[in-house]
Amino acid sequence: MKSLFRLIYVLGITVMSHGALAQGMFFVPPDLSAPEARQLQESGKLLLVDVRTPQEWRQTGVAEGVMRLNMRHPGGGDGFIEDLLRQVDGNRNAPIGLICRTGNRTTHLQRYLISQGFTQVYNVKEGMAGSAAGPGWLRRGLPTDPCRSC
């Protein structure tokens, strides 16, 4: 009988926590590996955004077909969001993938964008150069474009 009450208690806590998510807390989508991001991008199901600086883009090139949008936007967070919204026709529900060098900046930016009403913001946690999350876009040999004019 104690087991039954314990199960009901755990289920109740689970239901309440999911209700809290629906009432204002936000859901953070799962991370994507570089190959997963590439596949979704190629199929038109994801806008992949490289948020590194122009200097970083020139150093390594950028993922093929990526949108370049410097996280250090001259217009601050509002300017970044305005430029991003232009790319998705104002749709805050559009699937967006973020990539940086190692996934650190994109982790923070993902949370920020979700707090600003974006609902499908994915983090390519291994980044371009690799991290503990994986070898990265470059070492995986995924296609890149040189960024000489960035």
Q: Provide the residue-wise pLDDT of the chain in tens; the chain has 150 residues.
A: 444 333 333 333 333 334 344 434 667 888 999 999 999 999 999 999 999 999 999 999 999 999 999 999 999 999 999 999 999 999 999 999 999 999 999 999 999 999 999 999 999 999 999 999 999 999 999 999 998 777
For the segment 105-135, what is each residue's pLDDT rounded down to a tens digit? 999 999 999 999 999 999 999 999 999 999 9
For strands 121-123 and 67-68, give the pairing.
unpaired
Ordered domains of the chain (ranges, CATH): 27-144 (3.40.250.10)
Spatial separation of the C-alpha atoms in residues 136 and 60, rounded to whole Å = 12
Measuring CA to CA, how many Å separate 45 from each of 36, 40, 48, 137? 11, 5, 10, 18
pTM over 0.85? The answer is no
